[in-house]
Every structure is written in structure tokens, then in C-alpha cells.
Amino acid sequence: MHQISSSARLCACHRVIRNRNRYHLRCRSRCPVLLYRDGHPFKVYTSGSSGIELGPPLEANPRGIPLGSAAPIRILCVEDHPVFREGLATVIASQADMQLIGFAGNGVEAVAEFRRHHPDVTLMDLQLPGSNGTDVLIAIRGEFPRARVVMLTTSDGDGEIQRALRAGAAAYLLKSMPKDDLLAVIRSIHAGRRHVPAEVAARLAEHLGEDDLTARELEVLRLIRDGYRNKQIADQLAIAETTVNFHIKNLVAKLQAKDRTHAVTIALRRGLLQM
């Protein structure tokens, strides 16, 4: 058997650990685990105080996945833009430890495809035809509480980010992120972790400690967005006009806006409202 120095780090379950030109591909709770050395997979055996020993090289199947290794990460892609969808398919197909098992172009298809395939990881666009990706996430996790869903979007509004993470998103990623970073996050999410990139965390931090809008304030804000006057809002919500004025005063202060119209503009930019 090949000998590796005792300084080589053993794996922790589901963790990718790099060691020069070797890395652990994936493990399932107990060694022996799998290491790559010089591009070839080996099984690893502990050998007491003498360190770690590598068994003979493992053969690989036609997809390049070593025989005896864990199954590839099964991925469902929920995306309505053909160009971006095809790009994701190409990136995933280039990885021996990943498999794209299905596509969905809207929320209804997403729930149906999840029920059909039970993917390991779902990549979910935030803006879908006729629905919001977070609403689809809520629907999927309502039926499958352990679903691992990664939000993949161009929107960095803190309102959208907070809502998705509170709904159980395993990660919130911007579509502008590098390919290698995306692949690393998919592996991390499959391993049971959550991920918020630095730029997304920075957006959340900008409004940390600020008071959230109440459900009623959001209702009032939506009606302002739709062109309702204060008296019409009062009639719509069956409350007094003075109460509407009170809610508007509060939401304008919370959003640090100049007036009700400015409050709508800020809420749209932050993802607290959708058009």
C-alpha cells in the first residue's frame, strides 16, 4: 500500500478537505473514505500510529465517478431563462460528482418536478413567471421539510434575502458569482451546511437593527403602490382613515423615506415589495 504522512488530515463527514494535490471527495460517516491523489481515487485506511495508508487505485465508471464512491449530487434547476438554464446545464455536466436530473420553468412545474425526482439540491430562480421563487420554496418545504434549496438570482434587496432565508433557503446566491464558487456552494449545501456570500451578508448588515414593517404596514404600502388614496385604503382595509395615516407615518419613518411615494420606491428597491 502507498503511505501518506500522518500530517494528512482525515475527513470529517461530508467535508471537502484539500491536502496539496490530494482531496477527500466525499465520505459517509465512517472511514475508509475516498481521496484523490494525482487525479486518481484511492480508498483510505487508518493504520494506528503509523499514519494513513492508501489502498490500490479505484476504477471509474464511464461518467468518471469512482466505483464504490457515493452517488453524484442530484440537482433540479428551476429557471425560466433559456440561456442561463443552458449555461447551468453545461457547468453541472462538466462535474463528475453532479447530475442534472430535471428542469422547471415556473412554480407549478418546480413543485411537480421535485415530487417526481426528490433532488439532493434545487437551484431556484427568484423571479419566475407568475410566481416568486420564495413562494415556491415555501410550497416545496411545506411538503418536504428537508429540501435543500439554493436561491439563485440577480436581486440583492435585503427584503428578498431575509424572506428567502427565513423560509428555509439553504443559500442565497447572485447569478454573477464565479462558476467555481457556485459548484463549491452546491457541494457545501449537499453536505448539510448553509451559505450566505459576503456581498449578500453586507446587504443584510446595512439594515441590521432596523424595525421591520408590520403585516398591516405592508398591506398599506402595497395599496399605495397600486395607486390608492388614503380614504380608499381605509375603505379597502375596513379601518379608519386616521388609522391609515398612522400606519403611513410609521412606515415612512421606518424606511427613512420623505413621503409615501418615496417609501414605495425604497421598498421596491429593497425587495420588500414586488411590482
Chain segment 134-163, per-residue pLDDT in tens: 999 999 999 999 999 999 988 777 788 888
Share of the chain above pLDDT 70, in %: 73
Q: Answer yes or no: is pLDDT of 54 > 70.
A: no
Sign of the torsion formed by the C-alpha atoms of 76, 78, 82 and 87: negative
Q: Answer yes or no: is pLDDT of 52 > 50.
A: no
Q: 215-270 has which fold? A: Arc Repressor Mutant, subunit A (1.10.10)
Whether the upstream peptide bond of residue 178 has omega within 30° of 0, thus cis, is no
**Any idea where the domains of the chain sit in the sequence?**
2-57, 73-206, 215-270
Average pLDDT rounded to a whole number, residues 220-237? 93
Tell me how many degrees the CA angle 158-183-102 measures, rounded to the nearest 5: 90
- Architecture of the domain delimited by 73-206: 3-Layer(aba) Sandwich (3.40)
Pairing type for strands 98-104 and 22-24 reads unpaired
CA distance 119 to 121: 5
Q: Answer yes or no: is pLDDT of 17 > 60.
A: no
Average pLDDT rounded to a whole number, residues 220-239? 93
Amino acid 257: pLDDT: 87
Nearest to 271 by CA among 227, 213, 216, 211: 213
Q: Mean pLDDT of all residues in the chain?
A: 78
Average pLDDT rounded to a whole number, residues 208-216? 79
CA distance 118 to 125: 18
* Residue-wise pLDDT tens digits, 180-190: 999 999 999 99
pTM of the predicted protein model:
0.59
CA distance 135 to 97: 30
Backbone angles phi, psi at 35, to 5 degrees: -120, 150
Nearest to 228 by CA among 257, 201, 202, 261: 261
Which residues on adjacent β-strands are paired with residue 19? 22
